[in-house]
Amino acid sequence: MIHMNQSNMIWPDKVTICEVGLRDGLQNEKKILSVEEKLELLDMVVASGIKVIEVGSFVHPKAIPQMADTEKVVQRMKRVDGVEYRALVPNLKGLERAHAAGLTKAKLTVSVSESHCINNFNQTPLEMMEGFIPCVEYAAKHNIKVSGALSSAWGCAFEGKIPVQQIEKIVRAYLKLEITELSLSDATGMGNPRQVYEIGKYMVENFPQVKWILHFHNTRDMALSNIVAGIQAGITTFDGAFGGLGGCPYIPGASGNIATEDVVHMLHEMGIDTRVDLLKAIATARTAQQMVDHQAESHVLKAGRCEDLTNERVRHQNNKS
Ligand code: ZN
């Protein structure tokens, strides 16, 4: 439920966090985690209370070797009722693999940038989306839910800012395929809060049938601000990755996703419920950091919660008296 308070800003009671660390977080790591390590992280994510989890991707194993064992992860993972397990699929082949492994939710993705698509795939975004038609038919036949991602929605290395009309064209193409859960993704970390508010609000108002998800990378430290701007635009579902891991293998210098625990911490400090146990989310990030063997890009992992600081001060004072 969204309500207005005296300051005229919009704060929802509840926000949904989707954990994408197992896919977007790990796909650019030098160290390839084992299936066992991924399953351990997955169990921790579920235990923290997160209900939407991207467990991997079914891209070509040679393209992203970090994701080559997604089948095994999906086959071996414990499935908890009420948790949605999804994977990224680039095409029909990927969707068939996801289905064979027993997955019931898939995410398609296309870049909204013409130059990005033409440079990488020699097709326009709309031409690429024609390839989604057999995917949607296959998914319907096999009871697989499908969502869609619009990558480079907030900026592109080739084109800079993407006009809202260009984003809208792709949104309409997804709606034609009857895909109504859409994620606006910022792998380049170029989005800023004003842009997120204005385009987010435009999308929410013009496409009320869509369940919007925002996906930010923290490349230029704008991701938390962008999430607040997204909330003000009326969007209440956001992706995050444990430890702020990740990046885009195709975009030079693109650093990690916004850290899940930083998002959860900020929202809890703002009095917004996420149903996520923050201490458990921090523990997941710490474990992931050990597994990938380098410092994670996470503020609460380094600094602790605001609450921890207050507790520490009280403890100090009690010791003195
Ligand atoms: Zn991403």
Q: At residue 191, does pLDDT exceed 70?
A: yes
Domain ranges of the chain: 16-320
Say how many Å lie between the CA of residue 217 and the centre of ligand 1: 6
Q: Specify the pLDDT at position 254.
A: 53
Q: Which helix (H) or strand (E) element contains residue 240? A: strand 237-240
Per-residue confidence band for 295, with pLDDT thresholds at 50, 70 and 90: confident
* DSSP-based three-state secondary structure for 23: helix
Say how many Å lie between the CA of residue 127 and the centre of ligand 1: 22
Distance of CA 279 to the CA centre of its chain: 20
Neighbours of ion ligand 1 (CB under 5 A): 24, 187
What values do phi and psi take at 236, rounded to 5?
-130, 20
> In the predicted model, what is the mean pLDDT of residues 198-202?
98
- Altogether, the residues listed in the chain come to a count of 321
Say how many Å lie between the CA of residue 240 and the centre of ligand 1: 9
Q: At residue 180, does pLDDT exceed 90?
A: yes
Say how many Å lie between the CA of residue 317 and the centre of ligand 1: 44
| Residue pair 242/261 in contact by the 8 Å Cβ criterion | yes
> In the predicted model, what is the mean pLDDT of residues 288-306?
93
| Phi-psi domain of 108 (left: phi exceeds 0; alpha: psi -120 through 50; beta: other) | beta
Helices marked H in 177-297 — which ranges? 193-206, 223-232, 260-269, 278-292
* Residue 175: other Cβ atoms inside 10 A: 15
CA dihedral 77, 67, 161, 2 (to 10 degrees): 0
Q: Specify the pLDDT at position 255.
A: 72
d(CA 57, CA 105): 11
pLDDT in tens, 8-40: 788 999 999 999 999 999 998 989 999 999 999
d(CA 266, CA 228): 10
Q: Specify the pLDDT at position 251.
A: 56
DSSP assignment of 256-267:
PBPBHHHHHHHH
Tell me the catalytic residues. Answer: 248
CA angle 26, 32, 33 (to 5 degrees): 80
Say how many Å lie between the CA of residue 36 and the centre of ligand 1: 23
pLDDT in tens, 86-127: 999 999 999 999 999 999 999 999 999 999 999 989 999 999
Say how many Å lie between the CA of residue 254 and the centre of ligand 1: 10
CA dihedral 167, 172, 175, 177 (to 10 degrees): -100
Q: At residue 134, does pLDDT exceed 90?
A: yes
Say how many Å lie between the CA of residue 243 and the centre of ligand 1: 14
CATH number for the region 16-320 comes to 3.20.20.70
> In the predicted model, what is the mean pLDDT of residues 155-163?
93
Say how many Å lie between the CA of residue 244 and the centre of ligand 1: 11
Indicate the pTM of the whole model. 0.94
